[in-house]
Structure 1
Amino acid sequence: MTSTPTLANTREELSGLLATARREGRRIGFVPTMGALHEGHASLMREAARHADVVVVSIFVNPMQFAPTEDLDRYPRTLPEDLEVCAANGVAVVFAPAVEEMYAGGFSHDKVRDGVTVHPGRLATILDGESRPGHFDGVLTVVAKLFGLVQPDVAVFGQKDYQQLALIRAMVRDLCLPVEVVGAETVREPDGLALSSRNRYLDPEQRRAATVLSRALRAARERATYGVPAARWAAMSVLKSEPLVELDYLALTGTDLGEAPENGEGRILVAARLGSTRLIDNMPILFTTPAERSA
């Protein structure tokens, strides 16, 4: 059974819709998105419903997190279909603001540089941050704005964007924001490809080739019992087998995205291009050394 969520386009409409819930002491769960919703987003909505009484989803393609050379104009806008996904997954309110509602006077990179934004720190300069300078400034700034408008008790983000999740948790901690951040597991296609709004850009041959990312991560996890170098070699061997993939980075790290431990839990992350489409993926990984295995 589905119920149509209420659509808010302005800050005032959003505040009015949530005022009653706040007065009644109901927990508000929040899922920020850029739209083009798929089952991965739906799983975040269901996770939010497990932690809250009222679920709010935002749909906003944030121009600040796109470089001038990136695919802002190409990014899919599918609001009617997105509202159907929200309705099917228990969402009460959808906040879909115009750019002018989130950036007073409209957006330009020059205008933003003169304003107040969130500086994400060193963690935003590695991995995706190295490949996309300024990207996480845009992500954290818009998430901070949305937290201020929605005032959620809990916010749910997918682990597929693991670096983003780590940075949002750091922002909440360092800026003392009263929001519980939940990281939900990555949802995958039956062949292992992580769900992404950008998957729709892939032609059939690229779509077939894209499964090499998850296959490389799984190969590394299988070899992680022989240490970090063996896990890296296994992943690279798989990635090199697919000529359509242009590797951006492959990183084996700790859970905090620092140096990978010799023994213990870590993360393996990959980013690559297939044609003009850039995809990311990651998985948890457990490293052990021969001495540790025999102990």
Structure 2
Amino acid sequence: MTLYIGREASKLWKRVCAETTTELNLLADNWKYLLAGLVCQYIHGLAARGVHYIHRPGPTLQDLGFIFLPELGQDKAYISETLFSLIFLSFVLWTFHPFILKSKRIYTVLLWCRVLAFLVVSQFLRIITFYSTQLPGPNYHCREGSKLARLPHPQSILEVLLINFPRGVMYGCGDLIFSSHMIFTLVFVRTYQKYGTRRFIKQFAWMLAVIQSFLIVASRKHYTVDVVVAWYTVNLVVFFVDKKLPELPDRTSGNSPILLPLSMKDKDSWNKEENHKLLNGNSVDPADRRPRTQVNGKNLEDGNADTAMNGA
């Protein structure tokens, strides 16, 4: 038993080391995209902090969700945050499963580049929206009479730049349309829908997204319109941005030597070559896609390269 555990632990350690090496190589090529995505997360937080300074509390607007969904109350407002934290942490842990599990489909670095692209575009649209029209916040700390509903003018630029994290994020007001919680939730669920492998987890994730929507409204953290707009905006953003990005390599086949997605130029070149062979009645063999040596403007097979060079 001890020998078996030791052998499996050794295999796991080798797997972790091999995956770490692979991901570090990818990180060296893609760190700029990850850094840009993280900087945009800070800019989004800074914008949400800024709109709080111009927030003006007022009577809660009439809302269909407020009419049909009972109010949870301040003592139960943690329920929606707990569910969101569960979704967030579960997705983050799943993105690192290639380091441990033998069966893997994604590269962690490449996946996070894609996720951050979805988040950045969605958050950019969100910033434009909540700065265009400031609604009176429905949350308890944003209502009239609350000391947190208005922020005093900052004493220095440093006070704004530090955004009072995490308290400033938890008790923000004015950044309503559309829900930031739903941006993260829907981006994570859509990503797992495409790259995940467990069907029941996909169905469960969508169910959690729906429950999260109702809890946000029941907690009075957002108006119903904030959640509704998030549902169609984020899904459209993911749909169109995903089409513009190069497809991630699929690791399930296990026989693909290509680590990074092909460029569109490479894909077009391969497609033309395959179509040409099919028109000539030749089958397309994946093993035939090997580098060719170019001599005098002609592409030669590796085996004929030396002959051509000697005869030139």
TM-score (norm 2): 0.24
The structure with more helix, counted as a fraction of residues = 2
Structure number having the greater strand percentage: 1
Rg bigger for which structure? Answer: 2
Whose relative contact order is higher, 1 or 2, with alpha carbons under 8 Å and at least 6 apart?
2
* TM-score w.r.t. length of structure 1: 0.25
